[in-house]
Each structure stands twice: as structure tokens, then as C-alpha cells.
């Protein structure tokens, strides 16, 4: 029993470290990707290829002067970024990183916890995240921050609806809300063709759902083209205008953790998680297969993180009324239509 506990705690620590590490290197990757997309080289002074840049940035943020505005609510001002970071990190608990490892006959789950309402849990935690922004923006006692916070909360509420509705169609098909179960179901044969083994990914059944999901994920992460809460041009940084030092760092960092987690969600909900097509044909030892699966999962995550950045440095941001119109008048009706289509499809194929 104790060994179970130690294993779980070890896994939690590893997942925690990986989330933070990926987020740290996402900041470097963001700068590198943006540079490459703009025919530049990007940071390359701190270590080879700028490998040490995240460390330099972190050290810099820690040594910056910490300013709390005179009329700010001190308690809420500190609570804001902490809450945002905590919720960003909490989401990774239900993501299945791979098949269970075989430790001499004892199976070890590569998932911190398998709750049977995993998808709901993720949505619940993510929607708490908006409080981090709201509280921070409110406590700053600054009109720009408040504007940013207002935008963030209304945007999150609008897009969470469409996101939830797009997931409903997926849950109708899988019949389970446990992420482990959903990923495991995607290991089968695509459209029942025995050749396409390990390709039974939900993207092939739910393309419209995935499209809605990815658009909403961009909005939930406050990424371009939906980065209105912090848009530098009009709101001077939005909800984190008044923040400095590591509190600002937490906000910026949590954004990357959010990106990592939602990439993991997209990979596991729609792109088969740790499933690799045709892997079974190679007849690898079981644990090697698990390892390859984990690697494949991370490749998918990294691709999605790259996609986030790719989009950011390609298209400009929406106007606010366009954003609301897209959310309420386009994505939500589309998501409902998707549910109906899925229902019909399920009846027809039964």
C-alpha cells in the first residue's frame, strides 16, 4: 500500500516537473518560432540555441522589484496569479500519459488519478482559472486591468459553452467521461478496417467537433486571435498591467502551462493520446511499447503547442464584437448541430 503512495507521489512530482519544464521551454520556443516565422534567428546568446534563456528570464523576473499599487487590495492582488497558476497545474492530474507500465507483474498507471468524470473535472478546474484573471484585474484598481479582466471573463464564459457542447458529441460516442477510457477506446480499428489498427481516433469521427474545440481552446488560453484580455496595443497588458516581478511571471507562465494542458487534452480527446498507428505490428516488448506511446503523446502535444504559436504569429486578433458574435452566433449553433449529427449518425450505424 505504501509503495502505491510513493509511486503516486513520484508521478505527481514528475508530471508537475514536466508541466513546468514544458511551459518554461515553451517561452523559449515561442520566441524561437516567432523569430523563424519572421525570418529572424531569435534568442541565441544564453547557451547554444538559447537553451538557457528560460533560466535567465526566470532569474531576471525573480530579481525585479515587486510593486503592489497603493490602492490595490493586497490579499486579492497576491491571490490572483497564485490561483491562475494552481488551476493551470491542477488540470494535468487526469491526463493519461501512457498505457500502464508493467513493473514485474504489477501494473503502474501513468495517470495521476482516473476519475470517472475526468472531462468534467478539467472543465471545472479550467473555469476556476478565470477567477485568477478576474481577481487580479479587479484587485489592481486600474481601469485597463479591469477592462482586461472583464473581457477575459466574458470571453471565457462564452467559449466554455461552445467547448462543452462540442465535447458532448464526443462523450455521446465514447459513452464515458473518464479520459483513460476515452483514450483507450481510440486504440481500435478505424471505421472497422482491420488494417488501420491504432488509428481509431476521434478526429475521424468528430472533425467539426474538433474544429469547435480547438477554436474554443485558443479562446480559453487567451491566445491570438482571442488574446483580447491582455492585448498590448489597446489595454497596455490588460489584467496584468499592474503586476511586476514573479507575480507577472506566474501569469505569463500559467498561460504556457494552460497551453500545454489544452494541447494534451486535444491530443488525448481527438488524436488518440498515446496510441500509435501500426505499432502492434512491430511486436515490441510491452514496456517499450508503453514508452513509444508516451513519446508519441508528447510529440502530439508539442505539435499542438507549435500550432498555437504558428497561429499566433500568423493572424491578427478579433475585434471584440466579432469575438462575441463568433462565440454565440456561430460556434454554439454549430456545436448543437454537431450533437444532432452525431446522434443521427449513431442511430444509423447501430
**Closest distance to other proteins from the beta carbon of 216 (Å):** 15
Instruction: Please say whether the beta carbons of 220 and 258 come within 8 A.
Output: yes
Contact 228, 317 (CB under 8 A): yes
Nearer to other proteins (CB atom), residue 204 or residue 306: 306
Instruction: Tell me how far, at minimum, the Cβ of 304 lies from other proteins, in Å.
Output: 14
Q: Do residues 127 and 164 touch, judged by C-beta distance below 8 A?
A: no
Number of helical (H) and strand (E) elements in the chain, helices listed first? 12, 2
Q: Are 242 and 235 in contact (CB under 8 A)?
A: no
Specify the residue, 48 or 107, whose C-beta has the smaller distance to other proteins: 48
For the bound state, the minimum distance from the C-beta of residue 226 to other proteins, rounded and expressed in Å, comes to: 13
Smallest separation (angstroms) from other proteins to the CB of 309: 10
Q: Shortest distance, CB of residue 155 to other proteins, whole angstroms?
A: 17
Helix (H, G, I), strand (E, B) or coil at 186: coil
SS3 at position 177: coil
Element (H, E) at 99: strand 98-103
Rounded Cα distance between 215 and 235, Å, is 23
Query: What distance in Å separates the CA atoms of residue 245 and residue 60, rounded to the nearest whole number?
Result: 8
What minimum distance in Å lies between the beta carbon of 64 and other proteins? 26
Q: Which is nearer to other proteins, 207 or 343 (CB)?
A: 207
Distance CA 251, CA 152 (A): 13
Q: Which is nearer to other proteins, 41 or 193 (CB)?
A: 41
Q: Name the minimum Å distance from CB 123 to other proteins.
A: 25
Q: Give the residues lining the site for other proteins (CB under 8 A).
A: 33, 36-41, 310-311, 313-315
* Rounded (5°) CA angle 239-244-246: 105
**In the complex, minimum distance from the CB of residue 124 to other proteins, in angstroms, rounded to a whole number:** 30
β partners of residue 98 = 110
Q: Which residues contact 323 (CB under 8 A, 6 or more apart)?
A: 155, 158, 219, 226, 228
C-beta closer to other proteins: residue 67 or 315: 315
Question: Do residues 236 and 182 make contact, with C-beta atoms less than 8 angstroms apart?
Answer: no
Backbone φ/ψ region at 106: left (φ over 0), alpha (ψ -120 to 50), beta: beta
Is 36 or 278 the residue whose CB approaches other proteins more closely? Answer: 36
Nearer to other proteins, 295 or 330 (CB): 330
Q: What is the rounded (10 degree) CA torsion for 270, 276, 278, 280?
A: -120
- Residue 129 or 225: the one with the smaller Cβ distance to other proteins is 225
Amino acid at each position: 500500500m505504501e509503495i502505491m503512495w510513493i509511486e503516486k507521489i513520484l508521478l505527481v512530482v514528475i508530471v508537475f516537473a514536466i508541466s513546468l519544464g514544458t511551459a518554461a521551454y515553451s517561452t523559449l520556443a515561442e520566441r524561437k518560432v516567432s523569430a523563424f516565422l519572421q525570418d529572424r534567428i531569435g534568442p541565441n546568446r544564453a547557451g547554444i540555441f538559447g537553451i538557457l534563456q528560460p533560466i535567465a528570464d526566470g532569474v531576471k523576473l525573480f530579481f525585479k522589484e515587486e510593486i503592489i499599487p497603493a490602492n490595490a487590495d493586497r490579499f486579492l492582488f497576491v491571490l490572483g496569479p497564485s490561483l491562475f497558476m494552481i488551476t493551470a497545474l491542477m488540470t494535468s492530474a487526469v491526463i493519461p500519459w501512457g498505457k500502464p507500465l508493467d513493473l514485474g507483474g504489477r501494473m503502474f498507471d501513468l495517470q495521476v488519478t482516473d476519475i470517472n468524470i475526468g472531462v468534467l473535472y478539467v472543465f471545472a478546474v479550467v473555469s476556476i482559472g478565470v477567477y485568477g484573471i478576474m481577481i487580479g484585474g479587479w484587485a489592481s484598481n486600474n481601469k485597463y486591468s479591469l477592462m482586461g479582466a472583464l473581457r477575459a471573463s466574458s470571453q471565457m464564459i462564452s467559449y466554455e459553452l461552445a467547448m462543452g457542447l462540442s465535447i458532448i458529441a464526443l462523450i455521446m460516442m465514447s459513452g464515458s467521461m473518464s479520459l483513460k477510457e476515452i483514450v483507450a477506446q481510440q486504440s481500435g480499428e478505424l471505421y472497422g478496417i482491420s488494417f488501420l489498427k491504432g488509428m481509431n481516433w476521434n478526429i475521424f469521427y468528430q472533425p467539426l467537433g474538433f474544429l469547435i474545440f480547438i477554436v474554443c481552446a485558443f479562446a480559453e488560453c487567451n491566445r491570438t486571435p482571442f488574446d483580447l484580455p491582455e492585448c498590448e496595443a489597446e489595454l497596455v497588458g490588460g489584467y496584468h498591467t499592474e503586476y511586476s516581478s514573479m507575480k507577472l511571471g506566474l501569469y505569463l507562465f500559467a498561460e504556457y502551462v494552460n497551453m500545454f494542458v489544452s494541447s494534451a487534452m486535444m491530443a488525448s480527446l481527438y488524436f488518440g493520446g498515446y496510441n500509435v498507428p501500426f505499432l502492434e505490428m512491430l511486436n515490441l516488448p510491452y514496456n517499450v511499447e508503453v514508452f513509444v506511446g508516451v513519446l508519441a503523446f508528447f510529440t502530439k502535444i508539442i505539435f499542438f503547442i507549435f500550432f498555437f504559436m504558428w497561429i499566433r504569429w500568423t493572424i491578427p486578433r478579433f475585434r471584440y464584437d466579432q469575438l462575441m458574435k463568433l462565440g454565440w452566433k456561430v460556434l454554439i449553433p454549430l456545436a448543437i448541430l454537431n450533437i444532432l449529427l452525431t446522434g443521427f449518425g449513431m442511430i444509423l450505424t447501430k
